[in-house]
Amino acid sequence: MSASYEVRDGIAVITMNNPPVNGLGFANRVGIADGLGKAAADPAVQAVVLTGAGRAFSAGADITELDGPKALAEPNLLTLIKMVETSSKPVVAAIHSICMGGGLELALACQYRVASPGAQIGLPEVKIGVIPGAGGTQRLPRVLGVETAMNMIVTGEPVKSELLASLPGQKLIDKMIDGDLMAGATAFARGVAAVRPLPSVRDLKVKHPNPDAYVQFVRNMVKGMSKNFPAPLACVEAVAASLKAKTLDDGIAEELRIFKGILLSPEARALRHAFFGERAASKIPDVPESTPQREIKAVGVIGAGTMGGGITMNFLNAGIPVTMLEMKQDALDRGVATIRKNYEAQVKKGKLKQDKYEQRMALLTTTLSYDDLKAADLIIEAVFEEIGVKETVFKTLDAIAKPGAILASNTSTLDVNKIAHFTKRPQDVVGMHFFSPANVMKLLEVVRGADTAKDVLATVMTVAKKIKKTAVVSGVCDGFIGNRMIEQYSRQAGFLLDEGCTPSQVDKAIEKFGFAMGPFRMGDLAGNDIGWAIRKRRAVEYANLKYSKTADLLCELGRFGQKTQAGWYDYQAGKRDAIPSAVVEQMVVDHRKELGITPRKISDEEIVQRLVYALVNEAAHILEEGIANKASDIDMIYLTGYGFPLFRGGPLCYADTVGLYNVVLTMNRFAQNPLDDAAFWKPAPLLAKLAAEGKSFT
């Protein structure tokens, strides 16, 4: 979509038009350039107003074109900025709704800017690992002063127009316009049409009473806060250049130099991968966006335990009424009390207003009777993880739920296809695998059964957005995507203990790599008994699978984790600090002796490679089997649900950074280790193929 042009009473109006947020895509840029050309050539035009149609002035670069050839095709953003800046007639930016990134850089080149209240103004480039690259770091300090501009650019956070307009001495917004923005903007343009010389941000100076000390202070602060991310510090250096450079053009040249230096950094690549991965996750190849959807106005949740309560909160937070069902009144009461406790903690911290809390609780109904779920459009089951219990629940739901109601299971290990066939409507059944705590964790695995209808999937993806989750589709397999991969990671963690590591050595190494928590601290948090129970249930299937017995031995000692104040680590009452345990270390040593293993010193590098490449190899199988639709879906699961470091972009993005050839080479070496599982380390066919062809996952 392009920009439109019209002349209203001597004022040319150029309206950017590229829904949803007027990204500065190629067609839009051509339209703006054409408009500027026409306005310059028409003697009847005295001034120009530049604005955006619909929901934004402009949100900047068009993300659909970002890495393609059109991104830099002429007229590119720098050319447009030059055209606006050198216009012989004043150009007035009429800013509303969203004015960010390249949109703001374009507005800064205009001779004047007027704005509606409530417009979000910012330079968010840092969030995708880069710096503003079209003069933003040089022009924003000129209009807002270096300190305000520095804050905005380093954090990437937008600021409301009225707040910026109220800053003393600011030159960003010439006039705030309440009411009809276009009427106000054209009137303003008419008022300044004859003013000469034309004003320009170029002529403003950036000043600070103590520039060197100020920049050093910011540098130190940002360095401490942005450890693994180079972009915030690069923003500091670029803004600092606005203080040092003799002219705007010198500053812009420095900005460009810094921009180019950071654009291809692994961290910038990882952040862009995550940014696009998040958007791509909601797209399902064979479920077009036009798929009709079912209306979800009322939700039922079965089970008010750990998961049921958290799941319920998601919907209450989004203003969707929930009926929560349990077997016994005391279980219901406990569930409601936990929900209240969670909300009250938020109120106490000032994160939730009391009246909002009450509004949310008013949306909650509890019941012991399935009759009360008859009106629900979506029913999510979070009862005990036993197939017999699920069978009873789904057969009952089949009998009472209204036609077209979506029936979802939160199961983490059971077969969703089997569950679907407890009903006579398998097309309406889907897995909604939330992560604990369900009211906090962003990830939702949407498990697509063999019969799940497309409109059910499309609806669940929309619902996920409403409750602010990152939803990723998984096919049906043991553990779905996330837990199937973590199983291999945990197995490696166990082998590492058998071969010579302590739990804290393994945790420290992977936490240094960037994981939020190592496998043993994680086990203590989640409860080691959960995995134990799963292993026992699956003993038959697992009979031939090699795994370390240490986790079972730990559970036999009753060391379930934080909840028993003893797990892989020791814990003090009421505290979460993991203290290395002499008991566990002795247990590991004794077990090693039993196995006749002579311990060896294992490097942090080997620990990280074994844990991460275990994820990578299993992910490659998952991709190949079509359980995941795309590599970025797998990475999103690990970034949002498993604490994988964002600056590494997820396991597959990381593997690409290392180089798949190198990953395969290392796996082949691990396969030689007699204490490891040689069969597992045989590279997945997809991984082997990509490596051999010099290709990558992402």
524-553 residues near ligand NAI, rule: CB under 6 A: none
Which one of 110, 115, 165, 393 is in contact with ligand NAI (CB under 6 A)?
393
Q: Which of 217, 384, 542, 661 binds ligand NAI (CB under 6 A)?
A: 384
Work out which of 48, 108, 382, 634 binds ligand NAI, going by CB under 6 A: 382
| 133 contacts 238 by C-beta, under 8 angstroms | no
Nearest residue (CB) to ligand NAI, 122 versus 310: 310
Any contact of residue 643 with ligand NAI (CB under 6 A)? Answer: no
Q: Quote the least distance from Cβ 413 to ligand NAI, whole Å.
A: 6
Determine if 327 is a binding residue for ligand NAI (CB under 6 A).
yes
Residue 480 CA, chain-centre distance (Å), reads 20
Q: Which of 95, 173, 302, 473 binds ligand NAI (CB under 6 A)?
A: 302
Give the nearest distance from C-beta 327 to ligand NAI in angstroms: 5
Q: Which of 21, 304, 464, 622 binds ligand NAI (CB under 6 A)?
A: 304
CB-closest chain residue to ligand NAI: 305
Nearer to ligand NAI, 384 or 661 (CB): 384
Tokens 């897995």 appear where? 431
**Rounded to the nearest whole angstrom, what is the least distance from the CB of residue 340 to ligand NAI in the complex?**
16
**For 210, which DSSP code?**
S
Torsion (CA) 259, 264, 266, 270 in degrees, nearest 10: 80
What is the token pair recorded at 122? 């910012």
Q: Is 314 in the site for ligand NAI (CB under 6 A)?
A: no
The DSSP bridge pattern shows strands 322-325 and 364-367 to be parallel
**Closest CA relative to residue 204, chosen from 153, 254, 135, 104:** 135
Torsion of the alpha carbons at 3, 4, 6 and 11, rounded to the nearest 10: -20
Q: Which is nearer to ligand NAI, 101 or 308 (CB)?
A: 308
Contacting residue, 306, 367, 417, 427, with ligand NAI by CB under 6 A? 306
Q: Which is nearer to ligand NAI, 265 or 306 (CB)?
A: 306
What number of chain residues touch ligand NAI (CB under 6 A)? 25
At its nearest, how many Å lie between ligand NAI and the CB of residue 591? 27
105 is catalytic: yes
Angle, alpha carbons 650-651-657 (nearest 5°): 90
Q: Which of 6, 74, 85, 105 is catalytic?
A: 105
- Residue 43, preceding bond cis, omega within 30 degrees? no
Closer residue to ligand NAI, CB minimum distance, 3 or 408 = 408
11, 189 in Cβ contact below 8 A? yes
Question: What is the DSSP annotation of 494-526?
Answer: HHHHHHT--HHHHHHHHHHHT-SS-HHHHHHHH
Nearer to ligand NAI, 201 or 447 (CB): 447
DSSP string, 42-84: -TT--EEEEEESTT-SB-SS-TTTTTSGGGGPSS-HHHHHHHH
**410 belongs to the binding site for ligand NAI (CB under 6 A):** yes
Buried b (16+ CB within 10 A) or exposed e, 218-229: beeebeeebeeb
Tokens read off for 470: 């990152």
Smallest gap from Cβ 482 to ligand NAI, in A, equals 10
Interface pick for ligand NAI out of 326, 507, 529, 676 (rule CB under 6 A): 326
Q: Dig out the tokens for 189 from the structure.
A: 């343009």
For 110, the token pair is 């205009």
Q: Which stretch binds ligand NAI (CB under 6 A): 82-90, 304-312, 446-454, 624-632?
A: 304-312
The least distance separating ligand NAI from the CB of residue 573, rounded to whole angstroms, comes to 23
Per the annotation, the verdict on 267 as an active-site residue is no
Alpha-carbon dihedral angle through residues 660, 666, 668, 670, given to the nearest 10 degrees: -140
Q: Which residues contact 600 (CB under 8 A, 6 or more apart)?
A: 499, 500
At its nearest, how many Å lie between ligand NAI and the CB of residue 311? 9
Q: How far is CA 495 from CA 75, 384, 491, 602, 677, in A?
A: 58, 31, 6, 11, 9
| Residue 405 near residue 377 (C-beta atoms within 8 A) | yes
Q: Select from 123, 307, 627, 663 the one that contacts ligand NAI (CB under 6 A).
A: 307
Query: Does 685 sit behind a cis peptide bond, omega within 30 degrees of 0 on the bond before it?
Result: no
Measured from the CB atom, the residue of 262 and 304 that comes closer to ligand NAI is 304
Q: Which stretch binds ligand NAI (CB under 6 A): 386-394, 417-425, 485-493, 636-644?
A: 386-394
Residue 570 one-letter amino acid: D
- The DSSP code for 289 is T
Nearer to ligand NAI, 77 or 302 (CB): 302
* Cα 432 from chain centroid (whole Å): 18
Question: Of 35, 135, 308, 426, which lies in the binding site for ligand NAI, with binding defined by CB under 6 A?
Answer: 308
DSSP 555: H
Based on CB atoms, which residue is closest to ligand NAI, 38 or 563?
A: 563
Q: Which residues contact 26 (CB under 8 A, 6 or more apart)?
A: 62, 65, 70, 73
Among the options 6, 74, 85, 125, which is catalytic? 125
Judged by CB under 6 A, the stretch of 54-62, 377-385, 547-555, 595-603 that binds ligand NAI is: 377-385
Q: Is 417 in the site for ligand NAI (CB under 6 A)?
A: no
What mask, x for binding ligand NAI by CB under 6 A, covers residues 422 to 441? Answer: -----------xxxx-----
What are φ and ψ of residue 177, in 5° steps? -120, 110
Q: Work out how close the CB of 405 gets to ligand NAI at its nearest, in angstroms, rounded to a whole number.
A: 17
Provide the minimum distance between the beta carbon of 561 and ligand NAI in the complex, in angstroms, as a whole number. 12
Task: Name the minimum Å distance from CB 483 to ligand NAI.
Answer: 9
Q: Which of 60, 122, 230, 303 binds ligand NAI (CB under 6 A)?
A: 303
Residue 260 or 576: which CB sits closer to ligand NAI? 576
Q: Which is nearer to ligand NAI, 62 or 326 (CB)?
A: 326
15, 186, 412, 452: residue in contact with ligand NAI (rule CB under 6 A): 412
Query: Is residue 389 near ligand NAI by the rule CB under 6 A?
Result: yes
Residue 151 near residue 239 (C-beta atoms within 8 A)? no
Q: Give CA–CA dist 143/152, Å, rounded.
A: 13
Q: Which stretch binds ligand NAI (CB under 6 A): 269-277, 298-306, 512-520, 591-599?
A: 298-306
- The Cα 698–Cα 696 span in angstroms is 6
Question: 């002035």: which residue's tokens?
Answer: 57
With beta carbons less than 8 A apart as the criterion, state whether 115 and 173 touch: yes
Q: How far is the CB of 341 from ligand NAI (least distance, A)?
A: 15
Run of H or E including 132: none
The least distance separating ligand NAI from the CB of residue 670, rounded to whole angstroms, comes to: 30
Q: What is the DSSP letter of 124?
A: G
Q: How many CA atoms lie within 13 A of 473 on its CB side?
A: 27
Cβ distance to ligand NAI smaller for residue 193 or 533:
533
Tell me: does residue 385 bind ligand NAI (CB under 6 A): yes
**Tokens 């080691």, residue located:** 528
**Which residues sit at the interface with ligand NAI, rule CB under 6 A?**
302-308, 325-327, 331, 382-385, 389, 392-393, 410-412, 433-436
Active site residues: 105, 125
